[in-house]
């Protein structure tokens, strides 16, 4: 049952961590939306590996900007099953993924902005770090049933190869948004408008 958690760690807002005295890795998630971590806890983790959600950084605390939001974090227990995913590539994670995994990735790292040049239209993107179209598109084509997948590009002229986004065209975006809308907590529904 941890496979979806491992996929989300490779694609989304999580990372593997190993305490120096532990034999196995944990997965650590962070979010400004506690309810999103609660959803992940209930849907990505078996009950026996769940640990409590905690405040990693409180809004207004020393060292935070005055407009910072509280940041929540969650870990799972360090178990051998987590170690299975530490060497997966993005491509390998996507080979194991389904449409729900894409929706979770979008809710972690995606953005939907209303376009000013076209009425009732959006620009949908997912931050992909250093991944390339070659890493993403073969499996995205399988999952979304279309070859119209847009492009992967550097975020701006000064961005490095580690700072890229996937611009997703409407044919693929509406599918991802529809699944994301079903699982997004109320405070994240703004990311999933009806198109």
> pLDDT digit string (tens) for 51-61?
999 998 776 67
By percentage, how much of the chain surpasses pLDDT 90?
Answer: 82
172 C-beta neighbours (distance < 10 Å), count: 22
183 C-beta neighbours (distance < 10 Å), count: 16
Mean pLDDT of the region 7-28 = 96
Which class is domain 90-191?
A: alpha beta
Residue 64 pLDDT: 63
Q: How confident is the model at residue 159 (pLDDT cuts 50, 70, 90)?
A: confident
Per-residue pLDDT of 76-130, as tens digits, reads: 999 999 999 999 999 999 999 999 999 999 999 999 998 887 777 899 999 999 9
The pLDDT mean for the chain works out to 93
Say whether pLDDT at 10 is over 80: yes
**Residue ranges in the chain assigned as alpha helix (H):** 3-11, 34-44, 80-83, 90-96, 99-109, 133-144, 170-183
Those residues whose C-beta lies under 8 Å from the C-beta of residue 74, and which sit 6 or more positions away, are: 28, 29, 30, 37, 40, 41, 51, 52, 53, 54
SS3 (DSSP) at 86: coil
Q: How confident is the model at residue 160 (pLDDT cuts 50, 70, 90)?
A: confident
Say whether pLDDT at 50 is over 90: yes
Q: How confident is the model at residue 62 (pLDDT cuts 50, 70, 90)?
A: low
133-144 vs 170-183: helix crossing angle, rounded to 10:
70
Beta pairing partners, 127: 165
Phi, psi of 165 (to 5 degrees): -135, 155
Residue 195 pLDDT: 78
Domain assignments of the chain as residue spans, ordered by start: 3-83, 90-191
Confidence (pTM) = 0.92
Distance, CA of 157 to CA of 146 (rounded, Å) = 29
Beta carbons of 110 and 189 less than 8 angstroms apart: no
Closest by CA position to 154, among listed 176, 129, 177:
129
Q: How confident is the model at residue 166 (pLDDT cuts 50, 70, 90)?
A: very high
């Amino acid at each position: 049952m941890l496979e979806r958690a491992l996929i989300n760690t490779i694609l989304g807002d999580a990372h593997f961590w190993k305490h120096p005295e532990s034999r196995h890795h944990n997965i650590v998630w962070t979010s400004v939306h506690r309810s999103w971590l609660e959803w992940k806890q209930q849907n990505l983790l078996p009950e026996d590996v769940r640990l409590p959600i905690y405040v990693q950084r409180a809004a207004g605390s020393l060292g935070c900007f005055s407009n910072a939001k509280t940041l929540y974090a969650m870990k799972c227990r360090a178990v051998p099953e987590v170690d299975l995913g530490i060497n997966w590539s993005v491509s390998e994670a996507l080979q194991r993924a389904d449409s729900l995994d894409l929706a979770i990735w979008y809710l972690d790292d995606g953005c939907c902005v209303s376009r000013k040049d076209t009425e009732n239209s959006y620009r949908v993107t997912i931050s992909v770090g250093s991944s390339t179209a070659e890493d993403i598109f073969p499996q995205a084509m399988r999952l979304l049933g279309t070859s119209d997948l847009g492009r992967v590009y550097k975020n701006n002229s000064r961005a490095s190869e580690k700072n890229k986004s996937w611009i997703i065209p409407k044919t693929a975006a509406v599918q991802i948004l529809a699944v994301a809308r079903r699982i997004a907590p109320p405070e994240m529904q703004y990311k999933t408008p009806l198109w």
